[in-house]
Structure 1
Amino acid sequence: MTQFVRSYLFLRRAIGVLGIALPIVVIAGKQLLEGGDLLGSLSSYYYSDLRNVFVGILCAIGVFLISYRGYGVLDDVAGNIAAVAAIGVALFPTTPASPTPGQHAIGIAHLVFATIFFLTLAFFCLFLFTKIDGAAPSRRKTSRNVVYRVCGIVMLASLVLIVVIGQFFADATAAWHPTLWLESLAVVAFGAAWLVKGETLLPDRPEPSELVQSSRA
């Protein structure tokens, strides 16, 4: 049983580490290897020298999500959907400059997969990770739920802002690369939530009453 728990904690931590690493590695790596200006979005790094890293991290996240099993059928279904979406984002690249009709269609598929990916991960944070069993939640569980909800809201807010800015303020904000930073923020929020779920951050610890009882034993 202990080995089983450790395996699941490892999966959660691995997903979290990969999520946080993705924007850091591809953005910093591109600047080190190629230099030049930042790209317009995280997905645009597919067309840089960091393509294999970008695809590899997303596919690894997808594999870990497929392997992940939660506490019920809904967790498993959500994990599988997020896994397929992550791999879809990796294998169907964003639309390049001056696209062919085929590349434009692939770019649309990329947007669909990316939207499903983030919405499913936000669902994990807001509804699945925050579940409480019959017992009263511990202080750490309450704190973790706050983190999960904040991460879920950050992901949803980032998606909304990407759409709004892209539709109404694209030209005015292009020099600031808002889509890149908002996508990166959403991915880091996703990674942070999974690190917390893997008990790398805010792990359970004995309540004060339990410590008192233990000292009296």
Structure 2
Amino acid sequence: MKINNTEIEIERDDIFTYRRIRRAIGYLGISMPILLVGLSFVSFFKTQLQPSISHYYFTNLREIFTGTLCAIGLFLICYKGTSNASIWKNDNLLTNIAGIMAICVALVPMNPDDFAVKIYTLIPYPAKWLGWLHYSFAALLFLIMALLSINIFTIGQKNEMRDPKSILNENNIYRFCGYSILVFVVMVPVSETLKLFTYSTLIFESLALFSFGIAWLIKGRALGDKGMIGKKLYQENNSVDTQKVFEE
């Protein structure tokens, strides 16, 4: 079926727009722990290194914590993924839920160390159950992050038959990132219970965010898709030829 050049250009622009959104989500996910931890060592902000990322809500770096999460949430909600009869593979539904969870994590923080201090939150009420609500939102967010990497991002090459595939094939990276997120999230309560090492929660949360960010950056082709990168990651020798795709 032939498609005129105007329609091809529109489709190509849509593809590039999707990639930009994916890269934005990836960069935000990776930059949040880097900024929070890095700025903790800058005396100007008068903030010590915190036990977890969530603890930064009650510091002078609150705006970076909440702002980055809200930005990720808005990008995920605005990102129009594909629909699927299976909930576990419904890109549009899962990204919308993940976006809402990210915003909820930002606006409903963990419990403060001192309830006597005025709490500036969406729900300014000193109740411990609100802290558990925060953890529930965060757990669901990380779970969907993993699900997107394992179940959604790998759909594109489901019927790909070209061999041999490089170990750096994008699907291998998505699965590695997805399962890494699950492992790091499980390690948070385990390390807290066993007191494995100092700042264990902060480290595992950061690693989970790095895994999340890397998956979105690869999906957004942040490294490009030409030459050796295209061949190793996407089994492409050149960038996507939209004209050829739509003529097939």
Which digits, 9 at most, give the CA deviation of each residue in 1:39-68, with x for residues without a partner? 110110111111011100000000000011
1:146 Cα deviation after fit = 1.0
Cα distance 1:105–1:143, how it changes in 2: closer, same or farther (>3 A)?
same
1:26, distance to aligned residue in structure 2 (A): 1.2
For normalisation by structure 1, the TM-score amounts to 0.86
- Alignment partners' CA distance in 1, 2:172 and 2:77: 26
Aligned to 1:95: 111
Partners of 2:218 and 2:236 lie apart in 1 by 24
Give the conservation status (yes or no) of the 8 Å contact 2:40–2:48.
no
Aligned residues: CA RMSD: 2.5
Counterpart residue number, 2:241: none
1:13-52 matches, cutoff 5 A: 13-32=23-42, 33-34=44-45, 37-52=48-63
CA contact (8 A) 2:180 2:211 kept: yes
Which residue is 1:215 aligned to? none
Counterpart residue identity of residue 70, structure 1: G
1:10-159 → structure 2 map (5 Å cutoff) = 10-32=20-42, 33-34=44-45, 37-73=48-84, 74-99=90-115, 102-131=126-155, 132-136=157-161, 139=165, 143-159=169-185
Higher relative contact order structure (alpha carbons within 8 Å, sequence separation ≥ 6): 1
Distance 1:91 1:13, change over 3 A: same
More helix by share: 1
Aligned-residue offset at 1:203: 2.8
Gaps of 5+ in 2: 1-10, 85-89, 117-124, 239-248
Alpha-carbon distance in structure 2 between the residues aligned to 1:209 and 1:159:
34
- Distance in 2 (alpha carbons) for counterparts of 1:48 and 1:70: 35
Q: Which has the larger radius of gyration?
A: 2
| Conserved 8 A contact 2:25-2:216 | yes
Q: For the residues of structure 1 that align with 2:51 and 2:236, how far apart are their CA atoms?
A: 53
CA gap 1:15/1:161 in 2 versus in 1, 3 angstroms: same
Q: Which residue of 2 aligns with 1:214?
A: none
Classify the secondary structure of the residue corresponding to 1:66. Answer: helix
Q: What is the aligned partner in structure 1 of residue 192 from structure 2?
A: 166
Percent identity of the aligned residues? 35
Instruction: Return the offset for 1:30.
Output: 2.5
SS of residue in 2 equivalent to 1:102:
coil
Query: Mean alpha-carbon deviation: is it higher for 185-194 or for 198-207?
Result: 198-207
1:20 and 1:146 map into 2 onto residues whose CA distance is 20
Give the Å deviation of 1:88.
0.6
Aligned residues: 207
Contact 1:15 1:194 in 2 (8 A): yes
Of residues 190, 198, 202 in structure 2, which corresponds to 1:180? 202
Partners of 1:2 and 1:113 in 2: how far apart?
36
SS of 2:126's equivalent in the other structure is: helix
The match for 2:212 is 190
Distance 1:64 1:99, change over 3 A: same
Q: Which amino acid aligns with 1:69?
A: K
Specify the code of the residue in structure 1 equivalent to 2:55.
S
**What SS does the aligned partner of 1:200 have?**
coil
Question: What TM-score do you get using the length of structure 2 for normalisation?
Answer: 0.76
Asked if 1 retains the 8 angstrom alpha-carbon contact of 2:45 and 2:61, the reply is no
**Does the Cα contact within 8 Å between 2:20 and 2:220 map onto a contact in 1?**
yes
Tell me which moved more, 98-107 or 12-21.
Answer: 98-107
The separation in 1 between residues aligned to 2:153 and 2:167, in whole angstroms, is: 10
